[in-house]
Amino acid sequence: MELYTNDLFLKTVTYDDIDEVARMGEFEKGSISLQEAKKSIENMQNNHKQNHTGYIYHLCLAIYEKNKNSIIGWCGLDGTEPNPENPNRLEIFYMIDKEYRNKGYATQCAAKLIEYAFEIVGVKYVNGGCNKYNIASKNVMGNIGMLLYEFDKESGGPSFYIDNEIYKKLKWLRNE
């Protein structure tokens, strides 16, 4: 699977990407062995098999700049940890390598993931959250139309959501 933005392409990793997966393995901590990278790829592929229309178990995509061969981050949608009050909870995530931050890449990824979730998969809503000190991530969620609805009682981090109705209204307002 591949998704494209103005500057990036997001893709499901395969064994052809094993060297890059190993290099990016422990995000911001360093590389992992090829064996660990292979296991990571297998886990991602097995998770993707559980996704279907109306439901995302877990979708993890590598982020590449267009016309480049190096992974610069990861993004996706995670439904693996449902909340007892909300068993269909779906969380957006994005992690960009430090040298590629502040270029609008996280916003491009997040917007494309939201589009994919609503227009292709047909989910009802997407949630997001971040550390209370992560202003950049908070801004990304606001920039793509997610609404702030609470602050976590323990960590103080903001929680956001967007549903299909809000997404359609925003799309209409932007004349897309």
So where are the chain's domains? Answer: 2-173
pLDDT the model gives residue 63: 97
CATH for the 2-173 domain, from 3.40.50.1220, 3.40.630.30, 1.10.1330.10, 3.90.550.10: 3.40.630.30
| In the block, residue with structure tokens 């969380």 | 91
pLDDT of 85 reads 66
DSSP class of residue 6 equals S
72-125 per-position pLDDT tens digit: 999 999 998 766 666 668 999 999 999 999 999 999 999 999 999 999 999 999
Which residues sit opposite 172 in a β-bridge?
none
Give the tens place of pLDDT for each residue, 110-137. 999 999 999 999 999 999 999 999 999 9
pTM: 0.90
Which of 58-83 are b and which e, b meaning 16 or more Cβ less than 10 Å from the residue's Cβ? bbbbbbbeeeeeebbbbbbbbbeeee
SS3 105: helix
